[in-house]
Chains A and B, each alone.
Chain A
Amino acid sequence: MKVGLFIPCYINQLYPQVGKATLELLEKLNVKVSYPSGQTCCGQPMANSGYESESIGACNHFIDNFKDFDYIVTPSGSCAYHVKKHYDIIPQTEDVINVRNNVYELCDFILNILKIKDIGASFPYKVGVHKSCHGLRGLRLGSCSERVEASYSYIEELLQHTKGVELMPLQRSDECCGFGGTFAVVEEAISVKMGKDKIKDHLESGVEVITATDTSCLMHLEGLITRNHQPLKVLHIAEILNSNL
């Protein structure tokens, strides 16, 4: 099984610890992971801003980097979703089709491809899960509150098997945090208000650590938490699953 690791651009530059945790975690699970050098970005920032055409270079570059792998794993539901959903703007060669089919968000890959539930991690904290929207409603990494379906959640399932984790329920289990890429800046007022409300929900539920499948949501929430000196931490799910505290 040839597995390629995709580390999204902003994680690479701003949150390298998330990349490290992802790589170490996969290695712990005996996956032979390659990290193709020279990777950049999936193209989402431009495309979601309405400049899909400017993202074609990034898409092609992504395919070049990952076309030879059986699986492409990434600690970002949002990037995986972008490749799956929006890479229809480049010609659908066999390589492109394969890459789109084989790209996986980390929790999804661990649970459904590796078929591992208990990683042997331990993390003795009260954890609140932020269900990042693109992973939830795009990749269906869990059931969402709008649809009538059997309830499930990949990230929560892995956390339930993590020693010490106490999962805290929220009032609004899957409301968006308000990040939304350039939305965070274009619609600053609403973005900030959504983030504040989200944090309030976690605080009121007694959460100590907020986690998610996407660092982008967490960057937005952390920005508010540090500015407002609130007693909360954010950690990407890979960092929790890679813990042995």
Chain B
Amino acid sequence: MSHSELASIFNKNEKKVDWHDKALWFVRHKRDLSVHEVKGWEALRNLGHGIKAHTLSNLDNYLIEFEANAIKNDIQVHWAADGDEHNRIVHNIIKESNGKKVVKSKSMLTEECHLNPFLEAHGIEVIDTDLGERIVQLAKEKPSHIVLPAIHKNKHEVDKLFQEHLGTKPCDGDPQYLTGEARKHLRQKFIQADVAITGVNFAIANTGGFVVCTNEGNADMGAQLAPVHIACMGVEKIIPKQEHLGVFLRLLARSATGQPITTYSSHFKKPRKGEKMHIVIVDNGRTEQLSRPDFRTSLHCIRCGACMNTCPIYRRSGGHSYDATIPGPIGSILSPGKDLKKYSSLPFASTLCGSCSDVCPVKIDIHSQLYKWRQIITKETPQPFVKAQTMKIMGQMFSKPSQFERVGKAVRWSLRNLPKSVINSKLNTWGKARDLPEGPKQSFDQWYEERKNNQKD
């Protein structure tokens, strides 16, 4: 289904839309308060943008440097060209260590590669340990937001879900009780885990270390308890130097939730004695995106989610309406690069208001890229005949003033003289909920001519 179809379904329940919109606007507002405290915020954004641009232009070298340093630290480094290879590598590591139970902290990359179903098909238990992720996992859904994966669910839905799966008592959606129960449940899973999988927020080329940011401490809990730690990262997660963390950690936390710093910024550098640490570096379409000059900056993304929170469409259509791993504005410029036809409606799910580009901590010109994808999509994917023809006719009309004048006259006449029932017929989508303006008798052109003639008299 297209974005607009899924969005219409979401909009059948206006109360829910209002609630979703307010919840995310609240986060956007918190972000505003927090970034306005930083005097050099715009300079920091420029710096973030510059470091990312530099890194992507030298990506090969930084990746090699990172690998060499990681190996020096006794980390095993693996390379995966795509999602399938990534999944096989992870599975092999788990098999080698005779693992059966895996705990995973939040990682959009493993979502993208569909790691969970792959491992489960091989008889391995995978537990998502981020509370929001665990909620969507129990509900057999996908995250609807990259930072707030269960933002589409209210506390009563979570209450019911936990009763069903965790055997909790009905509690009228009491958040304290529910998180307490989730904590007990997850503690058990942490203790039993053979392998911990985490994502990577920043991989540092000059140290070979990496940083994982969580608010719940679940990445640490998993990685510190399990004897094997597998960290999965996209190639674009590299930053050149340790000191660049000072830029990105500040940008990330404030943009994501309005916190000055994420609760846990966990630095990993080498395995504990006798234990194992692996890094899987994944391409999965990223270098292809890098090769598209108009879209390469989309790889700057540090996955803060701010463009989702600010997007007036995302807030009112819900993350699932994008039907992609990464929803919202950034998802709408990444996804068409993976499957143009499947995601062809996403770049049109925007008014090009530009809020996403101005909120983005690494200054990705998201709305310009949406515009550019539109130009490609109309050329390279099948378009409705009527739309293509209309555009052609409009194009011709606007190059010839005489035609424009004729059509304008006809439109004004119709608006004035046709009955409302005809104007607002089913064919007129505009008219479902909105009136059209009354057609004025005179166009501006005609008025101007008349005035000129009167002035002559």
Give me the interface of A with B, judged by CB distance under 8 Å.
7, 9, 11-17, 19-20, 23, 35, 37-41, 43, 45-58, 60-61, 86, 133-134, 136-138, 144-149, 172, 175-176, 178-195, 197, 219-220, 222-224, 226-227
Known: A40-B397, A48-B371, A148-B38. A195 touches B444 (CB 8 A): no
Do B355 and A137 have beta carbons less than 8 Å apart? yes
Instruction: Enumerate chain A residues within 8 angstroms of B411, measured Cβ to Cβ.
Output: 13-14
- How far, in Å, is A170 (CB) from chain B's closest CB? 13
Instruction: Enumerate chain A residues within 8 angstroms of B382, measured Cβ to Cβ.
Output: none
Do B443 and A12 have beta carbons less than 8 Å apart? yes
Do B351 and A133 have beta carbons less than 8 Å apart? yes
Do B448 and A35 have beta carbons less than 8 Å apart? yes
Give me the interface of B with A, judged by CB distance under 8 Å.
3-4, 7-8, 11, 14, 17, 21, 25, 32, 35-36, 38-39, 41-42, 310, 312-313, 316-317, 347-355, 357-359, 371, 374-375, 377-379, 387-388, 391-392, 394-401, 404, 408, 411-412, 415, 429-430, 432-437, 439-440, 442-448
Instruction: Enumerate chain A residues within 8 angstroms of B353, measured Cβ to Cβ.
Output: 133, 137, 176, 180
- How far, in Å, is B435 (CB) from chain A's closest CB? 4
Instruction: Enumerate chain B residues within 8 angstroms of A41, measured Cβ to Cβ.
Output: 398, 404
Known: A58-B398, A145-B32, A146-B358. A14 touches B42 (CB 8 A): no
Do B358 and A144 have beta carbons less than 8 Å apart? yes
The secondary-structure label for the interface of chain A is: helix
Do B355 and A227 have beta carbons less than 8 Å apart? no
16 contacts between A and B (CB under 8 A): A7-B444, A14-B440, A16-B444, A41-B404, A46-B398, A50-B375, A55-B395, A57-B396, A58-B395, A137-B355, A138-B354, A148-B42, A180-B351, A180-B352, A194-B316, A223-B436
The chain A residue sitting closest to B377, CB to CB, is A50
- How far, in Å, is B307 (CB) from chain A's closest CB? 10
Do A176 and B355 have beta carbons less than 8 Å apart? yes
Instruction: Enumerate chain A residues within 8 angstroms of B41, measured Cβ to Cβ.
Output: 148
Instruction: Enumerate chain A residues within 8 angstroms of B433, measured Cβ to Cβ.
Output: 188, 192, 223-224, 227
Instruction: Enumerate chain B residues within 8 angstroms of A35, measured Cβ to Cβ.
Output: 448
Q: Which 9 pairs show the lowest CB-CB distances between chains A and B? A: A57-B399, A180-B351, A223-B434, A54-B395, A50-B374, A137-B354, A38-B401, A50-B378, A19-B444
Do A12 and B444 have beta carbons less than 8 Å apart? yes
Docked pose: A48 CA to B351 CA in angstroms: 9
- How far, in Å, is B255 (CB) from chain A's closest CB? 10
Do A195 and B352 have beta carbons less than 8 Å apart? no
The chain B residue sitting closest to A38, CB to CB, is B401
Known: A133-B354, A193-B316. A15 touches B437 (CB 8 A): yes
Instruction: Enumerate chain A residues within 8 angstroms of B8, measured Cβ to Cβ.
Output: 188-189
Instruction: Enumerate chain A residues within 8 angstroms of B398, measured Cβ to Cβ.
Output: 9, 40-41, 43, 46, 55, 57-58, 61
- How far, in Å, is B176 (CB) from chain A's closest CB? 30
Docked pose: A146 CA to B317 CA in angstroms: 21
Do B7 and A16 have beta carbons less than 8 Å apart? no
Do A137 and B312 have beta carbons less than 8 Å apart? no
Instruction: Enumerate chain A residues within 8 angstroms of B436, measured Cβ to Cβ.
Output: 223
Do B399 and A190 have beta carbons less than 8 Å apart? no
Docked pose: A146 CA to B34 CA in angstroms: 11
Instruction: Enumerate chain A residues within 8 angstroms of B358, measured Cβ to Cβ.
Output: 137, 144, 146-147
Known: A16-B442, A49-B374. A57 touches B430 (CB 8 A): no
- How far, in Å, is A30 (CB) from chain B's closest CB? 17
Docked pose: A190 CA to B447 CA in angstroms: 37
